Amino acid sequence: MNKFPLWKNLLVFLVLAFGVLFAVPNLFPEDPAVQIAARDDSALDEAQLARVQGMLEEAELEFLSKTLRDGRITVRFDSVEDQLRAADSLRLSLNPTTQSFVVALVLAPRLPTWVRALGLKPMSLGLDLRGGVHFLFEVDMDAAIDQVLRRYQEGISVMLRDERIARRVRVSDDQVIVTVNSDEDAERASRVLARMDDPLQIRRGMDGERPALYLTLTEDQVQERRDFAIQQNTITLRNRVDELGVAEPLVARQGADRIVVQLPGVQDPRQAEVVLGATATLEFRLVDTENDPIEAARRGRAPINTELYYERSGAPVLLSRDIIVTGDQLTNASSGFSEGRPAVFVNLDSQGARRMLQTTQANLGRPMAVLFIEERRNLVEENGEMVEVAETIREVISVATIQGVFSSRFQITGLATTEARDLALLLRAGALAAPIFKVEERTIGPSLGQDNIDRGMQAVVIGFALVVVFMLLYYRVFGIVANIALFSNLVLIIALLSLLQASLTLPGIAGIVLTVGMAVDANVLIYERIREELRNGNSPQASIAAGYDKAFSSIADANITTLIAAVVLFAFGTGPIKGFAVTLSLGILTSMFTAIIGTRALVNLIYGGRRVQKLSIGGSIIHAAH
């Protein structure tokens, strides 16, 4: 009686072995380190490694080790203070005049070779534990509205051209102004524009001496566009963070026009800021070969239906106003090399592919240009104060002759290696619906995170120790069983967090502490039921079986309702709330296993399969009834 079949015992053993294996990487701490890489992504060599070592020795900075791996130098230090001092010293020494090297603060894992070979990783730590970067971005809502109006401008111009109405269409002061030649044309244009899928408010007036239509967005359209801009930018930033490979980031809307981004483990905000804040996109246009771009540049005016741009070399280029494809129509992008040159390989959606196919079929032998567009905000001095001014950079990065028909797949060249990689990342993640500008940045050092870890671990240890002492004194042998199950429960939680790479935060530690109490609560219910069965005169073996069977429904009900609450917290919460919900959910699942199946297996090992006269399960040893 009270014996598990072999498969159940094996299940318990395998689960515990799994837990120990995946929890092992957390026994090896991370060292504060400095990583040096070339800004152009070229590989560093042994000579540069020796140069870095010489700089550190000259500055009298002690380090634990130095390694050269994957073209990057990593130097480990004993303390965060040494790490910070070394980073400042290396930045000054390596980049005295040019910014050729990136010196980043990182945490380098100290995992043994066999752990790396198995692909095991320690659990990820949140921003409050590991340190990292906190950004607060503001969305340029005026630019979002301007983008909508300019799209209307293009559509309105095409609609009126199809109706053969002479017109001049421009955007000014949050409205689209359509200037025509006569009142009759104005009336015809009004009827045409009223048929738009999403019509604007139309007002008749005069533009100088000529009739004009003034089109403005309704209040609902303005609000809809603002909401779309903030939502789309939030999604795009989240995609970009995913491309950066940051574990468990926080990307959430804050207020009416701001987005908060937290990147745990990132100690150097430069690369993250460049990727997150970039608004780079592309436009593909045909090159105008009938007019002289040099003459247009000299006059400062482009011929009709063309626009004047410049290549990176400074050479002027005349492009058609008609856009073939934009970056919004790209479905995938990857960087690589083509004929020894950096390239971006792109795929278009069905609409873009159809448009590209039509264009290449009709324009074989003509040149096509790739226009690179980027929004920047620069600091300039005005009236003795430094202010941020928005600037749009437009430059032609590639001009190539259409030598064959293609549609959905092609490549872009003319970029540096780093530019190709970053552009591919941005195109994969999607374009921002409106420019964003950084209004706040905070770098949280790992020393503060370590202090939080120490305090959190102290809370777990104290809570665990108090529970262990209580269970040992009150339930004797069965208390030892519960304590073993409790320790196994902690190991399994850590193993699952490591396996899933779910980020552990301070609220997550609170969830673990709560789980400790909930796990032992299940054992208390079982043990009290066993004691009740013994007092009713049942044999020890029957009391053990009845205790586990009859307490199961109460334990299941309590844990399932708590699990539902944790799932709701995870679904609707953000950031720290999700961290709490994750550890609580995992703790509930592991505690159900250890408290019911794990302790039953251990109790069966101690008492099962033999005649038992007494059980050590309370303030005194309870004997079997005669």
**pLDDT band of 431, cuts 50, 70, 90:** low
The more confident residue out of 94 and 274 is 94
**In this prediction, what percent of the chain has a pLDDT beyond 70?**
85
Closest CA relative to residue 573, chosen from 492, 511, 519: 511
Q: Is the pLDDT of residue 621 over 70?
A: no
The CB density around residue 65, as the number of other CB atoms within 10 Å, is 12
Write down the pLDDT at residue 319: 92
Write down the pLDDT at residue 241: 75
The more confident residue out of 8 and 457 is 8
**Across 495-516, average pLDDT:** 82
Q: Which residues contact 271 (CB under 8 A, 6 or more apart)?
A: 102, 104, 244
Tens of pLDDT, residues 78-89: 887 788 788 878
Q: Is 88:95 a contact under the CB 8 Å cutoff?
A: no
Tens of pLDDT, residues 244-299: 655 557 788 887 788 888 877 665 566 666 667 666 667 889 999 888 988 888 88
310 sits in the region (left: phi over 0; alpha: psi -120 to 50; else beta) called beta
**Across 569-597, average pLDDT:** 83
d(CA 618, CA 474): 6
Range scoring the smallest mean pLDDT among 126-135, 173-182, 308-317: 126-135
d(CA 108, CA 104): 12
Write down the pLDDT at residue 377: 58
Q: Is the pLDDT of residue 171 over 80?
A: yes
Q: Is 296:340 a contact under the CB 8 Å cutoff?
A: no
Q: Is 594:489 a contact under the CB 8 Å cutoff?
A: yes
Write down the pLDDT at residue 287: 92
Q: Is 366:427 a contact under the CB 8 Å cutoff?
A: no
Q: Is the pLDDT of residue 619 over 60?
A: no
Q: Is the pLDDT of residue 129 over 80?
A: no
Mean pLDDT of all residues belonging to the chain: 80
DSSP secondary structure, 123-192, as one string: PPB-HHHH-EEEEEEEE-HHHHHHHHHHHHHHHHHHHHHHTT---EEEE-SSSEEEE-SSHHHHHHHHHH
* Domains identified in the chain and CATH numbers: 6-24+446-623 (1.20.1640.10), 30-110 (3.30.70.260), 142-219 (3.30.1360), 278-443 (3.30.1360.200)
Q: Is the pLDDT of residue 402 over 60?
A: yes
Q: Is the pLDDT of residue 172 over 80?
A: yes
Q: pTM for this one?
A: 0.57
Which pair of tokens denotes residue 109? 């894992």
Q: Is the pLDDT of residue 227 over 90?
A: no
Tens of pLDDT, residues 13-56: 999 999 999 998 888 877 888 888 776 667 888 888 888 888 88
Q: Report the amino acid identity of residue 579.
A: G
Q: Is the pLDDT of residue 622 over 60?
A: no
- CA distances to 10, 218, 254, 331, 370 from 349, rounded to whole Å, are 52, 31, 32, 6, 17
Write down the pLDDT at residue 239: 72
Q: Is the pLDDT of residue 155 over 50?
A: yes
The more confident residue out of 143 and 485 is 485
Write down the pLDDT at residue 270: 61
d(CA 332, CA 241): 16
**pLDDT band of 626, cuts 50, 70, 90:** very low
Write down the pLDDT at residue 625: 47
Q: Is the pLDDT of residue 164 over 90?
A: no
